[in-house]
Copies of this chain bind each other. A is one copy, B any other.
């Protein structure tokens, strides 16, 4: 990250306020008039200001990092939490959970509160910070790492993800090798990069054996269970129903299997199902779920280690890390009837 040459004195002079006022904005204090605060923020952004990193203040920041979800309800939040705790505990770092956005956690107030309280840094799970918010964290020298990514993270933002394209390719190849020729995919939202990568992997597996993709079998949705259920009912009620489906998450696969059950179809005899994630659940279902293992806990642990290193002022070996995915074959896939 390039570091602007400005000091808070420069900023104060330019905006025409006192140095303590600039300092109060940087420290998340609420006793600054909104208009003043806005002018200070603008000047900080203009100068690409970076708060000098002094010796750590152990009473304030030694102990906490902020783990920020877009939504806790997300099916794999628990895997992430387990991974973060695994990396944070040996360093005696406490983990503060936040759900960012929604009426109760407006981003500006959240940034002020973590600044006032002190944090080692912020781990963002599929949560977007806009450019202004990223600049605000940088100006306060609060490091952040993005886990997975639902959009293009800017260069210089440390990111841990997994190879979604390869996952999509492996899952679809497996179904094609079993003999399936009508394969559906239920992915996540179309504007989310990982969803698109998986769909592209799905297409590539078709292309490499000269098979066309029926566009009506490519479904976008959410990664949650309802998405699998609703698309499942629609797909399976068709006279030309697919003989196999690749779902965007294990819980989406669960919803799809539920839809099949309600329509009297058996898995895998009547329809094969591949999930994504390999949550602990996947191996316990009956039939157990063939799925693409995404090492969520390891990804979370690695992102946490990166964040702690950054907060200790250590350089990162790499800004972008992608862990591999792996197809786990279990009972929910079989040759077509």
Contact = CB atoms under 8 A, between A and B. Distances in A.
B284 A254 contact: yes
Nearest to A77: B78
A85 B99 contact: yes
Interface in A252-272: 254-255, 257-258, 260-262
Interface string A91-124: 0101111110010110001000100110000000
A163 B85 CA distance: 32
A259 to B, nearest CB: 9
> Which DSSP category, helix, strand, loop or mixed, fits chain A's interface?
helix
Interface in A201-255: 225, 229, 251, 254-255
A73 B280 CA distance: 10
Nearest to A267: B286
Contacts of A285: 254, 258, 285
A210 to B, nearest CB: 36
A238 to B, nearest CB: 20
Contact of A97 (B81, B105, B225, B258): B81
A89 B64 contact: no
A54 interface: no
A96 B67 CA distance: 10
Nearest to A78: B78
Contacts of A254: 281, 284-285
A116 B60 CA distance: 9
A114 to B, nearest CB: 8
A257 to B, nearest CB: 6
Contacts of A105: 89
Contacts of A109: 92
Given A64-B117, A72-B81, A104-B89, A96 B99 contact: no
Given A117-B64, A257-B286, A82 B73 contact: yes
Interface string A43-79: 0000000000000000100011001000011000110
Interface in A264-298: 280-281, 284-288
A223 B262 CA distance: 29
A90 interface: yes
Given A78-B78, A261-B286, A287-B261, A90 B104 contact: yes
A78 B72 contact: yes
B286 A63 contact: no
B225 A280 contact: yes
A229 B286 CA distance: 12
A39 to B, nearest CB: 25
What 6 A-B pairs are tightest by C-beta distance, nearest first?
Answer: A261-B286, A89-B104, A95-B97, A94-B96, A78-B78, A96-B96
Given A77-B78, A77-B81, A95-B96, 4 more contacts: A73-B82, A92-B104, A258-B284, A285-B285
